[in-house]
Structure 1
């Protein structure tokens, strides 16, 4: 198990609350913030939730609460540069003022840290569930590629792609290393490359518990949770069956 560089539980909102604000310290000292949805200490299942790049970790609030209610530890983080994980150097909201070349470089510099930042979040959950515990990961849109990178280097019990388009390189990574992992794929049929790559991923998925939830329309990620009031329950139920 990799060493957690630094992590600190900051504030429990209330003693009876299922939600706590956390901050994790990255290798370079940067602070990654997120929400930890508390589950009993005896729980041996966990889910790491990675948001899409036009939103932040709060998109998983309802899913996190329901996972905790099902005795599953859940953690959602803000990627470096998003939500509460911002600094003078890393702030996606300020990139629109940059030239195309500057914006591209700023994005590359920022996102290059994401795999190691996500690893620290995984280590937080691994510390909660122990070596024998099971950890799943869900990645929405850009979060899906981070889920693949995490799965390539760690023991992942279940993986979900939520409106997450994958390029050929990532599909090859999934096929070669993760296709035997239970996989939940969610996409809308008019969501361009997101849907076509979702179809490819499902064809490559080999585990019998893998599932493809296809929707009519153009919704991408979080809006699907509003479109289908049963989707949150479906996601939570599926993960519960894989890791509990």
Structure 2
């Protein structure tokens, strides 16, 4: 059953020629305005438009890192939504702003970060519910989490029926790898990481060794690029991600 979306207001329904995105506002139960870009499926005929991908950015970027991927997914008749986490991009307020958090003394910074990020699971759930309404109860939803977004992807996938999941330069604690191994190993999984990206790469290897679905795949890069710069350096990566989700969500 879908959870109630307390308030959903469209900030703009003008789809630009460049991004194909409609900027939307998702209002949380505590009355916080989350900004997101929604890329509607280019195929309006059901059930052809019963697929969707939720895109979660890394914590040194914002939702715009998925502009091209969202547009390509829409062209493949897949709804897509890129969310600004609370405190990032345009999802900011006087209370939640990552730029302000990073200026705090170290002792205060950790507490402020924990307070801000504690809201993310419910915020991500709201974004998922929005997409689920678009595809219907029998629709399929995938999720991609870059860096810190990977933990949020695991949180959501443990609660909801996620048909495909991708970890993009996403370092995972042993606790999260164990959670994945307990409940998500049979979910098709796409893992992307650079070999010299420290814990990001070693945890990616651990996740991939745990994965059991035959469609699961790991893409590794030389060097230490993390997240978004990989999209800029390898122009084919965006298409690779889109093609993988399109194939998995069509099964």
Q: 5+ residue gaps in structure 1?
A: none
1:12 matched to 2:13: yes
Task: Determine which of 31, 34, 55 is the counterpart of 1:32.
Answer: 34
User: How far apart in 2 are the matches of 1:171 and 1:111?
Assistant: 20
* Residue in 1 that maps onto 2:247: 241
Structure 2 counterpart of 1:72:
78
Q: Post-superposition shift, 1:14?
A: 4.0
TM-score (normalizing by structure 2): 0.95
SS in 2 for 1:89: coil
Question: SS state of the match for residue 86, structure 1?
Answer: coil
Contact 1:31 1:85 survives alignment (8 Å): yes
1:1-244 equivalences in 2 (<5 Å): 1=1, 2-14=3-15, 18-39=20-41, 40-41=43-44, 42=46, 43-244=49-250
- Which moved further from structure 2: 25-34 or 36-45? 36-45
Q: How much has 1:15 moved relative to structure 2? A: 8.2
| Post-superposition offset of 1:12 | 1.8
Supply the distance in 1 between the matched residues of 2:40 and 2:60 (Cα, whole angstroms): 26
Deviation at 1:86, TM superposition (A): 0.1
- 1:10–1:207 Cα change, 3 Å: same
CA distance, structure 1, for counterparts of residue 194 and residue 15 of structure 2: 38
> Aligned partners of 1:20 and 1:227: how far apart in 2?
27
Q: In 1, Cα distance between the equivalents of 2:16 and 2:219?
A: 37
Gaps of 5+ in 2: none
Comparing 90-99 and 153-162, the one that deviates more: 90-99
Structure 1 contact 5–120 (Cα < 8 Å) conserved: no
The aligned length equals 244
Q: Greater shift after overlay, 97-106 or 140-149?
A: 97-106
SS at match of 1:11: coil
- Distance in 1, Cα, partners of 2:186 & 2:66: 26
